[in-house]
Structures are given as C-alpha cells and as structure tokens.
Amino acid sequence: MAVLTANAIRTAMQSGEIVIRPFRLRQLNPNSVNLTLGKTLLKYDTTHLLDLRIEPTTIPIEIPPEGYVLEPNVLYLGHTNEVTHTNVYAPFIEGRSSIGRMGISVHITAGFGDIGFNGTWTLEITVVHPVRIYADVEICQVAFHTVEGTTTLKYEGKYNNQTGPRPSSIWKEFQAGRYDVTAE
C-alpha cells in the first residue's frame, strides 16, 4: 500500500474520489489532512460491568470554551468535526505528534477505515496524566492508502453515516445471532 501525497489528496478531492467536509487548506499536510475535535465526548457509565452482549450506557460531556480535563484510566469517545468519505482509498487515522507528546492517544485499535465509510470518526481517547483539551483543536490526521485489486464490497456497516461519537455496537452482533454464546 502507498500513502497519497498532499497533491494526490487534492486531486482526489477535486475528482470526488475523496470527500472531506468541512475542508480547510491549512489542515493539509505533506501526506495527510488534520482533523479537528468535536465538542461532544461520551464516557461509559462504569457503575456496572461492561458486557459485549449488552448495549452500553454512556454519559455525554460537552467541552466548554474553557476546555475539559481528561483523566487517566477513563475511555473518552470523541469525534471529528469533519466527515470523510471515499469509495477508492483506505483511510487511516493517527494522532498528531503534538497531541501524542501531551500524553493523549486518539485511538486504541480503531484507526483503520474501510473503503466506503462515510461519516465522522469516533476517537477512543485516553491520557496518561490529566490533560485539558479544547473543542476544534486539530487532534488527529487522516491518510489515504491505495489498495491493490478491485472490490465491489463497500463498507455499509453499523457506523456508516455516523455523526458525533458512537459507543460500541457489538451488542447488535450478538442480538443478530452472529455469536453462539449463552449467558452463564
């Protein structure tokens, strides 16, 4: 896989092969585009055990203008302001180095996107020490990888067309009978 350069990203955007909205030229990097943090966070209600088979409950948090302090040992679900979409390339997000150097991780395992994904990105934010964050800061970057071969299979999963942060929906897979697991 190869990563698109800034010029290739701009060309793909002009042809409609990549959509990023809103798009600001100042967020374009040599081979990625910075994405900004939305104002809403979710955290799981951990007064009870999280169970993959049960829809999790979340607590919404709005980031005020003076910022919000993230605490260690808490998973915060954030989101990008930008919607991205491509039916041609495989998108991948990573944290910006300036954000990582503050002890902030923007994803645990879900940095890879599928061809056809359309929506805002849910960020799995954790910190190693308390950190004050602010909405609209450039928190991560999206890069676009070329793929080998053709596919008629496009992502049409449960997170497509999402806006804002979304908690895990793996419980839907259990409800649909995808896993043969009985309650103990």
Catalytic sites, residue numbers = 124
Segment (H or E) for 98: helix 97-100
DSSP single-letter state for residue 38 = P
User: Is the Cβ–Cβ distance between 143 and 94 less than 8 Å?
Assistant: yes
Dist. CA 34–CA 43, nearest whole Å:
24
DSSP count for the chain of H helices, then E strands: 3, 11
Sign of CA dihedral 148, 154, 157, 161: positive
Dist. CA 168–CA 181, nearest whole Å:
18
User: Is the Cβ–Cβ distance between 113 and 157 less than 8 Å?
Assistant: no
Amino acid at the residue 49: L
